[in-house]
Amino acid sequence: MNNSENLSAAPAEESVAEKPAGAFTRLGRRIKAFVLAIVHGSAVTKVSCLVMGTGQIARKQYVKGALYFLVEVLFILYMVFFGGTYLGHLFAGDLGTKVGADVWNEALGVYEYTSGDNSFLILLYAVVSLFVLLLFLAVWYMNMRCNIANDSTRNIAAKKPPQEYLEILASTKESGSSILLSSRAVSVQGGRVRLTLKGIPENGVLEIGKIPIPFGDIEPNVTRFGPLLVTSVESTEDGATVDLWRDENVYAPIYLPLEIYLRTAEGTPVAAAYMRECGSVPTFKKDAAELINKKFYVPLLVVPLLGLLVFTVMPLIFMILIAFTNYDYEHTPPGALFGWVGFSNFAKIFSIGSGGADFLLVFLRVLAWTFIWAIFATFTNYFFGMILALMINKKGIRFKMLWRTLFVIAIAVPQFVTLLLMQKILDGDGILNVILGTKILWLGDSSNWAIIPRITIIVVNMWIGIPYTILMCTGILMNIPSEMYEAAKLDGAGPFQIFRKIVLPYMLQVTAPYLITQFVGNINNFNVIWLLSGGGPVDNINYGAGSKAQATDLLVTWLYRLTTDVNPQYNLASVIGIVIFIISAALSLITFNRSKSNKNEEDYQ
């Protein structure tokens, strides 16, 4: 029972040097404890492994038990009548085998069309079923934890302390050394228990659960009774204080009742504490009441997260899986099947000269432009927006509201309207060329690496984005203490020096997360590119390789074109999607985990 390797599970409040344990080690321990708790658990708990809800019903938690049982029945029905087949396909490694075809019908003497398997639907439903399975496993785990918690309460109620100790207990009850732990405190949450034992003789022996514990500077935390840790034992003038801690991270069965004795050096018991749990399993009403109090986050999160699961996570997993298939215009269901091809789509994009097309070169070109665009789009908006905000907010400038409103209207008009309008204005026959009397293809000139469209797009993006920065900066700029300006002015600093030495460092520090979010947003800025140039102009170097990428395509617009083209290539689009995902996820995770607000979450209160 002395599990000294379990040190790392010690509660943070105890100032114990934590032994670093990897996430996997900890997970392994938890699984082991979980399995042990079931193995040592009661019969109904074991039955509950297979028939959910029986354990609860046996302990009179009827509503809860019925709900668990219902979930299991629904799950089995779902799997038998729907999901099972699709999961079977997934695990068998095929996405349908029957191709739809005209089959000769002898009896009628005609060709009949028999529909074949639809690989797309098979994969989709397999993903859905996989999620249903995972959700079910989560519910099963909840069910088992509920049973284990119930077990700890029931076992204790069944056991009686041995007769000889009962007498001592009776004698020490008045002195307050008999401790009752409420079952909630012990089985659900971590909790600290302090026992005070009175009447210790000199050189006495303290025994907890029949194990002698030395007094004084014992190594804390080494002694463990299931989930109960002895954190310290101190001798007082006439007795001892024992601190115990209920470790919430351990699901081992609770070895209660725990008998604690003080004996004289000769072995005569003088004082005892008898720990047992009292109380009964929680009623449904009590469980429900928890849901609007301590567990309020459960009802708060469940619906939004379900929405997320159905409309974001599941489609995402599905699209990721598509990257490992040959789903393209030659394998489009219904009519044709597609199947797993491993990493060959990745190989096609990331290797030179495969299949006659230099996909890698095209990919790198698009990636480079995506980053160039994102850098220019982010920083032009940021700096010019900041300068404009400074101008508008400068002391002595009048009609502040008017200036601000002029720019803000650009935000208020929906983006697709302004972008489509700009596209028409900048057209070869558009009004800009009419006014200038020129014939420049602002968005369609493919000469010189399509430099004109690229610049045009960045400029138009400034028209759209600068007002946002103005709005954002206005609030933050007011937070710069005015004494700093005054001091700088007295020292003879010009406006540019003030901007460079005071405003810019302050803004960069404060708005760093915003900048990164904008950067990631620009990497994925579909609207501006798609509505302005549509990714064009067609650029033979890129397009010719069969990649369909055009000159101003970002990764996202390229992806969109690959899926909406007459000859769609969903598999390649998915690979690009994965690349976009990795870039965005890495950038955003780094930023937010380093951002001040995340670290000092509590400081703001």
Partner 1 sequence: MENKVSMKEKLLGQKARNIYANTAIYIVLAVLGVLWILPIAYLLYTAFRVTPATGIILQLFPDDLELGFGNFGRLFSDTMFLRWMGNTILVAICSCALTTMFILMVSYAFSRMRFKMRKPLMNVMLVLGMFPGFMSMIAVYFILKAMGLTNSLLALILVYSGGAALSYYICKGFFDTLPRSLEEAAILDGASQWTVFWRITLPLSKPIIVYTVLTSFISPWCDFIFVNTIINDAEKYTVALGLYRLINAEKSSFSENFTVFCAGATIVGGLITALFLSMQKYYVEGVSSGAVK
Tokens coding 402: 């008017």
Residues found in the chain: 605
Out of 453, 467, 535, 537, the only residue in the binding site for partner 1 (CB under 8 A) is: 467
297 binds partner 1 (CB under 8 A): yes
| Interatomic CA distance for residues 456 and 463, integer angstroms | 11
Instruction: Please report, to the nearest 10 degrees, the dihedral formed by the alpha carbons of residues 570, 574, 580, 586 taken in order.
Output: 170
Q: Closest approach of Cβ 44 to partner 1, in Å?
A: 27
- DSSP reduced 3-state for 108: coil
CA quadruple 115, 117, 120, 125: dihedral sign? positive
Note whether 273 binds partner 1 by CB under 8 A.
no
Q: Which two tokens stand for residue 553?
A: 């395509």
CB-facing half-sphere around the CA of 482: CA atoms within 13 A: 4
Contact 150, 143 (CB under 8 A): no
Q: Which one, 264 or 433, has the nearer CB to partner 1? A: 433
CB of 393 to partner 1, least distance (A): 11
Which positions from 427 to 466 touch partner 1 by CB under 8 A, shown as an x/- string?
xxxxx--xx---------------------------x---
Q: Residue 516 CB, nearest distance to partner 1 (Å)? A: 10
Q: Binding mask 118-137 vs partner 1 (x if CB under 8 A, - otherwise)?
A: --xx--xx--x---------
CA distance linking residue 498 with residue 491, whole number of Å: 11
Out of 126, 262, 270, 556, name the contact with partner 1 by CB under 8 A: 556
What minimum distance in Å lies between the beta carbon of 256 and partner 1?
24
Residue 406 C-beta: closest distance to partner 1, Å: 4
Per-residue binder mask for partner 1 (CB under 8 A), 174-193, x = binder:
--------------------
| Min CB(143)–partner 1 separation in Å | 18
54 binds partner 1 (CB under 8 A): no
Instruction: Indicate whether 499 belongs to the interface with partner 1 (CB under 8 A).
Output: no
Minimum distance between the CB of residue 149 and partner 1, rounded to whole angstroms? 16
Secondary element (H or E) of residue 592: helix 570-594
Only one of the segments 59-67, 105-113, 183-191, 415-423 lies at the binding site for partner 1 (rule: CB under 8 A); that segment is 415-423
The answer to the question of residue 280 lying near partner 1 (CB under 8 A) is no
Return the residues of window 305-344 that contact partner 1 according to CB under 8 A: 305, 307-308, 310-316, 318-319
24 touches partner 1 by CB under 8 A: no
391 binds partner 1 (CB under 8 A): yes
Cα–Cα dist 394/566, whole Å: 55
Stretch that binds partner 1, among 182-190, 192-200, 260-268, 421-429 (CB under 8 A): 421-429
CA distance 529 to 376: 14
- DSSP label at 245? E
For the chain, report the end-to-end CA distance as a whole number of angstroms. Answer: 43
Segment interacting with partner 1, rule: CB under 8 A, options 149-157, 177-185, 468-476, 541-549? 468-476
Up-side HSE of residue 557: CA atoms within 13 Å toward CB?
25
The CA distances from residue 204 to 210, 212, 236, 451, in Å, are: 14, 10, 12, 90
Is 170 buried (19+), middle (13-18) or exposed (0-12) by CB count in 10 A?
A: exposed
Q: Which residues inside 353-382 make contact with partner 1, applying CB under 8 A?
A: none
Q: Does 62 bind partner 1 (CB under 8 A)?
A: no
CB-wise, 173 or 594, nearer to partner 1? 594
Q: Which is nearer to partner 1, 196 or 249 (CB)?
A: 249
Annotate 149-206 with DSSP letters as a single string: HHHHHHHHHH----HHHHHHHHHHTTTT--EEEEHHHHHTS-EEEEEEEE-PPTT-EE
Does 77 contact partner 1 by CB under 8 A?
no
Under rule CB under 8 A, residue 605 binds partner 1 = yes
Say how far apart CA 429 and CA 446 lie, in whole Å.
17
378, 457, 570, 575: which one binds partner 1 (CB under 8 A): 570
* Side-chain-side CA neighbours of residue 33 (13 Å): 22
Tell me, rounded to whole angstroms, the distance of Cα 386 from its chain centroid: 34
Q: Counting contacts by CB under 8 A, is residue 474 touching partner 1?
A: yes
Stretch that binds partner 1, among 51-59, 274-282, 384-392, 541-549 (CB under 8 A): 384-392
Choosing from 410, 480, 484, 488, the residue that interacts with partner 1 (CB under 8 A) is 410
Does 514 sit near partner 1 (CB under 8 A)? Answer: yes
The candidate with the shortest Cα–Cα distance to 278, out of 148, 146, 153, is 153
Q: Which is nearer to partner 1, 449 or 592 (CB)?
A: 592
